Amino acid sequence: MAKNKTVYACSACGAQFPKWTGQCQDCGDWNTLQEEASYASAGTATLGAKKSARFEGFAPKAKVQKLKQVSLSATPRASSGLAELDRVLGGGLVAGSIVLLGGDPGIGKSTLILQSLALLSAKSSTLYVTGEESAEQIALRANRLGVSDADLALLADNQLEDILAVALEVKPSVLVIDSIQTLYTETLQSAPGSVAQVRETASRLVRFGKQTKTIIILVGHVTKEGALAGPRVLEHMVDTVLYFEGEQNSSFRLVRAIKNRFGAVNEIGVFAMTDSGLKEVSNPSAMFINRAQENATGSVVLVSQEGTRPLLVEVQALVDQSSLANPRRVTVGLDNQRLAMLLAVVNQHAGFSLYDQDVFVNVIGGVKILEPAADLAILLAVLSSFRGAALDPNLAVFGEIGLTGEIRPVQRGLDRVREVEKLGFTRLIMPKGNVSGVKSSKLDIVPVTTLEQAVRYAFD
Ligand code: TYD
Ligand code: MG
C-alpha cells in the first residue's frame, strides 16, 4: 500500500512524523516512534467507501442523555456452553462485548474456543476465523473433540479487511479471531504480530463489534514473562480479559478473569485437559490436595478463596540447614517477599530463628495464591518442616499474619468454613475476628488472635 497511509507517532509526546527516526524530533526521547495508521487511512480501508462509511467511520452523532434517563435493559447474556467459562465471564457472554483470551502457546486456547463454539453454534450463528491453522487442522481437532457435526462457520484467513467483509456478510453473533497476532491490515507495513498491527487490527475489530453488536473473542499468545507483549497492549481496549493458565506437567487448566466490565474479577474456572478435550471440573476444591503420605512434615491444608469460590490447597515447605551466606528463600505459587516478612515475624514473635536455614515453599497443583489469608498456612508448614513434626492430617487453616504477630481476619470467613466442612476436615484454625456467627457441629474450630497461640494449638 502507499507509503503515506502510515505515520510514525512518538509514544511519549504524540508527535507524528512521516519517517521513522531513532529520536523523536519533538521531545527528544529515544526509540519512541511507532508505526501507526494515519487517521484518514484507517477510515477508508479496503472495505470500500460505502461500507466503511457505515461501519468504520464515526458512529452517528450520539445524543446527550441524563443519567437517570438512560434505559437499563438487563444485559442479555448468552451462555458460552461451558459452565466454568460462564462463571469466569460473570454469567455468560454479553452482547457486543469484546473478550480477550490470553495464554501461553499450547495451553489449550484453541481447544477451549472450539468446544465452546461448537456448543454455542446450536443456538446462535458463529464464525471462527483461524489465522494460525488450516481449516483441515481445525476439522481434525473437532473430530478429536467429538464435535465435528457442529454447525460452525470456519474461515482460514488473516487479512483484517477480508475478515471484516466476510463478517458483514455472515453476520455472526459470535466472532472468534484465533489469534490476533496473525492478523494484519493493509494500511500498515509492519509484520503481523508487531505491536502496531496488533493494536490497529484489534481496535478496528472492537469498533466493528460495538457497532454491529457482535460478541468478539480475541485469542492472544502471551509468554509467562509477558515478553511478547502483544495482548498486553489490548487489555484496555476490551471489556473482558481472561487468562488461560496451567503447568506444563499438569493436566489442570485455570481460566482467570483479570478484567471484567460485566462481572467480578479473580473468578476462576477449572478444566482438565484430556485425550478428548477439556473437561470441566465443577468441584475443584479437593483437586489441589495431594496427600499420598499421612504424617508428612511440612504440609498444611490452606483454605484459600478464588473469586466467589473457596479452594482448598496444600502448602508444602522444606526447611534445610543452609551452606550459603545468604540462605535461600524460594517460593512457587506464593509471594517471595511475603515469605521473607513472615520469617521475620516468626523469629520475633514465636521465637524460631531460621536465619541459617534454606526455606522452600510450594503450592501443590500449580495454583498461585497471592492473598494474605495464606500467611498462617505458610508459617505452619515452615515450622512443621523445621521442627520435624507433622500436623494433624484433618486440620485446615487460614488467616493473615500482621507484623506484630497478630492473626487478622480475612474476607469471606464463613464460605471458607463451609468448604472445610464439606470436604470432611475435622479441625480448623482460623482468625478469631472471623468466628462471629460461625457455628459448626462437624468442626472443631480453634479461633486464634496471635501467631503464638496458633503454633501452640497446631503442634499440640
Ligand atoms: P491448543 O488448543 O492447540 O493450544 P493453543 O491454542 O493455546 O496454542 O492445544 C494444545 C495442546 O492441547 C496440544 O499440545 C495437545 C493438547 N490436547 C489434548 O491433550 N487433548 C485434546 O483433546 C486436544 C484437542 C489437545
Ligand atoms: Mg491455538
**Ligand 1 centroid – CA 281 distance (Å):** 17
* Interval 248-269 mean pLDDT: 83
* Interval 176-187 mean pLDDT: 92
Residue 336 pLDDT > 80:
yes
Residues with Cβ < 8 Å from 152, sequence gap 6 or more? 117, 118, 121, 126, 128, 142
Domain-by-domain residue ranges, the chain?
Answer: 6-48, 79-282, 286-458
Cα separation, 414 vs 404, in Å, equals 25
Determine whether 84 is exposed, middle or buried from the number of CB atoms within 10 Å of its CB (0-12, 13-18, 19+).
Answer: buried
Q: Which ligand 1 atom is at minimum distance from the Cα of 103?
A: 7
Phi, then psi, of 240 in degrees rounded to 5: -135, 135
Residue 225: pLDDT band with limits 50, 70, 90: low
Residue 231: pLDDT band with limits 50, 70, 90: low
Residue 279 pLDDT > 60:
yes
CATH 3.40.50.300 describes domain 79-282: yes
Q: Which ligand 1 atom is at minimum distance from the Cα of 178?
A: 6
SS3 state of residue 192: coil
Query: Nearest residue CA, atom 13 of ligand 1?
Result: 106
Pocket lined around ligand 1, Cβ cut-off 6 Å: 103, 105-111, 141, 144-145, 273, 275-277
Give the model's pLDDT for residue 1. Answer: 44
Fold matches, 79-282 and 286-458: no
Instruction: Give 58's DSSP letter.
Output: P
Cα separation, 390 vs 388, in Å, equals 7
Query: Distances from the Cα of 58 to the Cαs of 53, 54, 187, 299, in angstroms?
Result: 8, 8, 18, 60
What is the assigned CATH class of domain 286-458?
alpha beta
Residue 211: pLDDT band with limits 50, 70, 90: very high
Q: Which ligand 1 atom is at minimum distance from the Cα of 141?
A: 24
Say if CB 399 and CB 429 are below 8 A apart. yes
Give the model's pLDDT for residue 290. Answer: 63
Q: What is the number of helices (H) and of strands (E) in the chain?
A: 11, 23
Give the model's pLDDT for residue 27. Answer: 83
**Ligand 1 centroid – CA 244 distance (Å):** 12
Cα separation, 108 vs 84, in Å, equals 15
Cα separation, 203 vs 37, in Å, equals 11
Residues with Cβ < 8 Å from 236, sequence gap 6 or more? none
* Interval 75-88 mean pLDDT: 89
Please tell me whether the overall predicted TM-score, pTM, comes out greater than 0.75 for this model: no
Cα separation, 367 vs 316, in Å, equals 13
The residue type found at 13 is C
Pocket test for ligand 1, best of 115, 134, 178, 273 (most atoms within 8 A of CB): 273
Counting ligands in written order, which one lies closest to the CA of residue 180?
Answer: 2
